Amino acid sequence: MFISDLPGIWHVWHVVTRLGEAQVVLPLFLLAAATRAQGPEGRSDALRWIALLGIAVVLTAASKVAFIGWGIGSAALNFTGISGHTMFAAAVYPPLLSVIGSGTSPRAHRSAVAVGCVLALIVGVSRFVLRAHSESEVLAGWLVGGLVSCAVLARGTPVPLQLRATMFVTGALWLTLTPATVAAVETHSMVTRLALKLSGHERPYTRTDLLSNHK
């Protein structure tokens, strides 16, 4: 038995993976973007972050729709679409922690960003451990989300201390309470319905279909 298959560890992975859900990440993202917009020249930076994340969401959804509706994927890479949880975590947590660490010492700010990166890393690992995604799909999520973060972090925006403190407390409470108390939204079901409607097919393509056709 692998350590990840132990009941207690398995529950922890399920809690961790919820930190990448859209319903958990997006409110934090909007809070961070609004907070960032309060700083000098922050509004344009916040709008840039919103636009970049929007592009990442469309790309991620399109990759899933393409596979579920038409079977467009890669059997060699075991790829059926970009991991949305991983993408959200990689695109939001590093900039979010950067906002919280804004105005501190360079070392403290780098540490805050590093915490965001580690959190995104762990969310991606959870998707693989829980067998929700393959290695290639998690890597694609890190790549797409990471590009968003890099573009945002390249333009740091100082944020007033009071706003940073408020965001930290609000974000900490949200991350602590939401995964344990709020039911997950079935985003995959919504994407599946959209893919079938667009493709006109009666049943979705699955990973089993992809890999069986590759043999």
The pLDDT value recorded for residue 2 is: 44
C-alpha closest to that of 91 among 126, 60, 56, 58: 56
pLDDT surpassing 80 at residue 7: no
Cα–Cα distance list, 199 to 81, 95, 111, 212 (Å): 16, 36, 46, 21
192 within 8 A of 70, measured Cβ to Cβ: no
Tell me what the pLDDT averaged over the chain comes to. 88
Look up the pTM and report it: 0.90
Model pLDDT for residues 128-176, shown as the tens digit of each residue: 999 999 999 999 999 999 999 999 998 776 676 677 788 888 888 888 8
The pLDDT value recorded for residue 60 is: 97
Model pLDDT for residues 94-108, shown as the tens digit of each residue: 999 998 888 788 898
142 within 8 A of 86, measured Cβ to Cβ: yes
